[in-house]
Chains A and B, each alone.
Chain A
Amino acid sequence: MRIAKYAVLLLALCCAVPSFAQVPFERLKNSDKEPQNWLTYGGNYGSQRFSGLKEITPKNVASLRVAWAYQLRGGGIMESSPIIVDGILYVTEPPSNVTAIDARTGKPLWHYVPQVPRDFVPVGLFPTNRGVAVLDDKVYLATIDDHLIALDAKSGVVRWNSLIADRMEGYAITQAPLAINGKIVVGVGGGEAGAHGFLSCFDAKDGKLLWKTYTVPLKDSDPGADTWANGSWSNGGGTTWNTGSYDPELNLIYWGTGNPAPDWNGEGRMGDNLFTCSLIALDADTGKMKWYFQFSPHETHDWDSSEPPILFDATVGGKPRKLVALANRNAFYYVLDRATGEFLTGVPFAKQTWAKGLDAKGRPIKEDAAKIEPSVEGTRVYPSLTGAINWTSPCYSPLTGLFYVNAREGYADYIKGEPKMAPGNSVGIVGGGGGGGRMSAGDDTTTNIRALEATTGKLKWEHKMVGDSWTGTLVTAGGLVFSADAAGNFFALNADTGESLWHLLLGSSVRSNPVSYAVDGKQYVVDSAGNTLFVFSLP
C-alpha cells in the first residue's frame, strides 16, 4: 500500500518536471508560446530573434549585472548563439565542441569534443562554430570537417554521425543546423575553396540522407547552367554557410547562398551565375526549389547573400502578406513575398556605390563596370569586403514592426587577381578567390544599429557606434534592443526610440548574437565576448 503511494507520488513528480530536453517538432513550431526557452538558432522558425520576455525593461535595465560567466575550454573566440531548453543551455566552442550548461548557475553538465583532424585548416573562414539544433531528445552539431553528429541531449553521447561533405573538396561548416519535422537541414561553407554549394537534409532518427539540392549546376543540362559562360559552373560557389529559416505552413525552407567562384575575377564566368547570391525556397520534404530570388547577379565583390532571412506577416498595399526580409551584404534591404518570391521592396540600409538602384523586379541597375569592378590597382567601392552586414543576425519585433540591423559603413579597394582554382584540392589552395581587397579600417569603418520599418526599409532611428562591430541584435517584448560595439561594450537601447539605456565593457570583442531566456520566471540575457560567455540578469 505504502509502495503504491510512493509510486503514485513518483509518477506525479515525473509528470510535473519536464523531461530533459524533450523537444518535439510541435514545440519548435510554436516556440513563441514558450519565451523562457530559445529553441532554434534564430529564436523561432522565422529567425526573428525576438524574445517574448519582459521582466527587463527600459526602466530597470540600468540594474543589469553579470549573473554568471563561462570560459571556453579551448582557445579562440566564441561566436556561438546558444540554445536554451528547460533550464539547460547548449553552446558550441571552436572548432566544433559542445557544452551543456545549467542555465541557472553556469555549471557545465557535459562537454563533447569531436575528432577533428589536426591538420585541417579551412580556406576563407575561421574554424569556429555558431551553434546547435535540438529536436526530441537529441542535440545536432555540424562540425568544421563536415560531419553531422547527433548527441544525446542528457549525456552528450554520440547517437549517430553522418558525413555531409568531403573536406578535401573545400567544404567546411561553421553554422548551426536547422531542425524541422523529423529532419535536420544543414548547409556548407567553402566558397573560396572551390566548394560546390548545396543544402542537405538528414533523417533526425538515424542520420540517413533524405535529399541534397545543389545551388550551382553540376552539368550543362541543370537549371541555371546557361547563366555560366563556357561551363564555368565547374568552379563552384553558392555555398549555404549560414543558418536559414522555415515556414511550417508553406513547408518551405529559406536559405541564402554565397558568392560564385572565383570571387573577385568574374571574367571567366560571364552571366548571372545562378543560384549564387540568392535566396532559395525549397520544399522541406523533397528539397525541390519552389522559387529563387537573386540579389546580386554576376557578383564580383564577395557579397554573399547568406544573411539570415527573417519571416514575418504584415499588410502591404492593403493586403495581408507572408513576407521574408533580408538585409543583404550588398547594402540593400529587401522584402519579398515568401510564398512566391515576388519582389516587393528594396532600399539601401548602408552606404553603397555599386548600384544606381533596383528595377521593378528587384534586379540591381549597376554602375558602370569601370567604377565598380575589381581591378589590378584596386577599385574603391562601398560596401566593404566584409559587407554592410555579414553572418551576424538582425532581428524583428512584431510589437514595434521594426527590423533592427547592425549596419556597417565602409569601403574596400577591390583587387582583381589571377584565379587559380583547384576544385577538389583545397589544402594549401593558391589564390582561389582571384583577387581580394584592401579594407577601410580605423575611423573609416563604422557600424551602427539601425531600426528600419520592416515593410518599407525606411529608417526610424539609428544608434551610432565607434569601430567595426561583429555583433547581432536581439529585441525583447520588454522593449529593448541588445547588441555590442567593436570594443566589447554590451548595451541596451530603447526599441522604440534607440535611446541608449545601459552598457558594460566586457573586455574583448563581441562576435556573436545575443539571446534571452528565463528560469523560474527570472529573465537572463546572454552574449559572449572574446573567449567568455556572459549571462546577465537583474539583481
Chain B
Amino acid sequence: MKVIRPWYAAALILALGVLGLASPAAAQLTQAAPPPHAAHPRATPESIAAGKALFEGTCANCHGIDGSGANGPNIRSAAVNLGPEGLYARIRGGAIGSGMPAFTALEDAQVWVIVDYVGSLGHEGAVLATGDAQKGKEIYDANGCAKCHAIAGQGGNLGPELSKIGVLRGTVKLQAILADPGANLPLDTSLQERAAYPAYLVYRVTTKDGKAIEGMRVNEDSFTMQLRDANGRLHSVQKFEVQKIEPLPGKTFMPSYKGKLSDKQIDDLVAYLSGLGGAQ
C-alpha cells in the first residue's frame, strides 16, 4: 500500500481550509432563520403520539423509525442539543450542507408535535430518582469524577461531558453505567460519517516493533485510526504501519463503582446526575 506524501495532503487540507471546505460535517450545518410562528405548546402524551405518526411518515426514512438513524443521522439527542426552538428551526429551515430539507409545507402545529416526539426519544421507561441529590454531589466531588468529566465548564475532558446528562440518560441507565461502564458505552453521534460508533471503546494497537498502545477510539476509517490514551494523549495510527489492531470490548478507562459505593450512595449520585440539564 502506498500513501499520499504528507506535504501534499497538508497542502490540500490547507487549500480546502482556505475554501472553507475542511470543517467537519456537523459544523457545516447552517440554516435560515425560521419565519414567525406560534410558541411551543406544552407536550402531552397525545402530542407525542401525533408526532410519532408524522415522524414515521416524514422523517423515519432518513432518521430511522426510532430516530436512531438510517440514511440520515441519529437524532435521539437532537431536542437536547438544539432545544425545542432550535429543533423547530431545523425542521422548518433544513440544514444546508446536509440532506436535511426545509419542511415548509408542514403546519406549525405539525412541526411542534414532531418536536415533542423527538424530545421524548431516549426517555422511555423513565424512573424518578429516589436519592439525595445534595449528598450525590458530595460523592461526585469526593470520588474524583471531575478529573475526567466536566459539568458547566468545570472538570476534565477524558470522559463525556455531564452538563445535560440528566436529560440524555434516564436513572436506570445511569445506574447501569455506574455499575458497568464498559457494557454501557454511549453511541457517538457527533460526527456524521461515523454513523453512531460506540464512543469511548478501548482498542489495543500493537506496532511492528511490538509496542502496545491502549486508547479510546476517537475516529477511524479504512486507512487510519485516532486513539486517546488514559493520559489524554492523541495517537494517530496509519493501519499499514502497525501489526495489529484489536478492540477490547467491555474495557473502559472509567472504573465500575459497584462495590466501591454503597447502593444508597449510588442512588444519591444518580439523583445528582439526573438533575443536571433541567430534568426532574
The residues of A with any CB-CB pair to B shorter than 8 Å are 62, 65-66, 69, 71, 75-77, 118-121, 123-128, 192, 385-386, 415, 417, 420, 427-433, 435-439, 441-443, 445, 464-468, 485-489, 491, 499-505, 507-509, 530-532
Among residues of B, the one whose C-beta sits closest to the C-beta of A484 is B222
The one of A75, A386, A432, A532 in contact with B57, judged by C-beta atoms closer than 8 angstroms, is A432
CB distance from A467 to the nearest CB of B (A): 6
Give the chain B neighbours of A485 by CB distance below 8 A.
Answer: 221-223
Give the chain A neighbours of B98 by CB distance below 8 A.
Answer: 75-77
The one of B22, B54, B221 in contact with A486, judged by C-beta atoms closer than 8 angstroms, is B221
A431-B53, A509-B193 given; A489·B222 CB < 8 A: yes
Interface size class of B (residues with CB under 8 A): 35 or more
- CB <8 Å contact, A466 and B220: yes
A76-B97, A489-B221, A489-B222 given; A509·B25 CB < 8 A: yes
The one of B8, B106, B219 in contact with A65, judged by C-beta atoms closer than 8 angstroms, is B8
- CB <8 Å contact, A428 and B198: no
A428-B110, A485-B221, A507-B22 given; A441·B193 CB < 8 A: no
- List 14 other contacts, CB 8 Å, given A71-B21, A118-B104, A487-B221: A66-B12, A119-B104, A121-B102, A386-B70, A428-B106, A428-B110, A429-B57, A429-B58, A443-B247, A467-B194, A485-B221, A488-B221, A489-B222, A508-B193
Give the chain A neighbours of B39 by CB distance below 8 A.
Answer: none
- CB <8 Å contact, B64 and A437: yes
- CB <8 Å contact, A415 and B2: no
- CB <8 Å contact, B54 and A441: no
Give B17-43 interface residues, CB cut-off 8 Å to A: 19, 21-22, 25, 28
Indicate whether B197 reaches chain A with its CB closer than 8 angstroms. yes
- CB <8 Å contact, A486 and B64: no
Cα distance A121–B7 in the bound complex, in angstroms:
44
Cα distance A428–B110 in the bound complex, in angstroms:
9
Give the chain B neighbours of A439 by CB distance below 8 A.
Answer: 64, 68-70
Give the chain B neighbours of A486 by CB distance below 8 A.
Answer: 193, 195, 221
Q: List 24 A-B contacts (CB under 8 A).
A: A76-B99, A77-B98, A77-B99, A123-B61, A125-B61, A192-B61, A415-B65, A428-B57, A428-B105, A428-B107, A431-B57, A436-B64, A438-B68, A439-B70, A442-B198, A443-B247, A445-B195, A467-B193, A488-B221, A489-B221, A489-B223, A501-B1, A504-B12, A509-B192
Indicate whether B71 reaches chain A with its CB closer than 8 angstroms. yes
- CB <8 Å contact, A71 and B19: yes
The residues of B with any CB-CB pair to A shorter than 8 Å are 1-4, 8-9, 12-13, 16, 19, 21-22, 25, 28, 53-54, 56-58, 60-62, 64-66, 68-71, 74, 94, 96-99, 101-107, 110, 187, 192-198, 219-223, 247
- CB <8 Å contact, B195 and A441: yes
Give the chain B neighbours of A429 by CB distance below 8 A.
Answer: 57-58
CB distance from A172 to the nearest CB of B (A): 11
- CB <8 Å contact, B65 and A487: no
- CB <8 Å contact, A530 and B66: no
Among residues of A, the one whose C-beta sits closest to the C-beta of B99 is A126
The one of B1, B19, B28, B222 in contact with A465, judged by C-beta atoms closer than 8 angstroms, is B222
A119-B105, A123-B58, A467-B221 given; A505·B53 CB < 8 A: no
4 closest Cβ contacts across the A-B interface? A487-B221, A436-B65, A75-B96, A442-B197
Cα distance A66–B19 in the bound complex, in angstroms:
15
The one of A121, A445, A531 in contact with B105, judged by C-beta atoms closer than 8 angstroms, is A121
- CB <8 Å contact, B21 and A441: no
Cα distance A441–B188 in the bound complex, in angstroms:
11
The one of B57, B192, B219 in contact with A123, judged by C-beta atoms closer than 8 angstroms, is B57
Among residues of B, the one whose C-beta sits closest to the C-beta of A127 is B101
Give the interface centre of A69, A436, A464 by most chain B CB atoms within 10 Å.
Answer: A436
Give the chain A neighbours of B58 by CB distance below 8 A.
Answer: 121, 123, 428-430
Among residues of B, the one whose C-beta sits closest to the C-beta of A72 is B97
Among residues of B, the one whose C-beta sits closest to the C-beta of A75 is B96
- CB <8 Å contact, A503 and B21: no
A76-B99, A436-B56, A439-B68 given; A427·B105 CB < 8 A: yes
Give the chain B neighbours of A427 by CB distance below 8 A.
Answer: 105
Give the chain B neighbours of A464 by CB distance below 8 A.
Answer: 222
Cα distance A126–B62 in the bound complex, in angstroms:
8
The one of B4, B60, B107 in contact with A503, judged by C-beta atoms closer than 8 angstroms, is B4
CB distance from B247 to the nearest CB of A (A): 8
Give the chain A neighbours of B247 by CB distance below 8 A.
Answer: 443
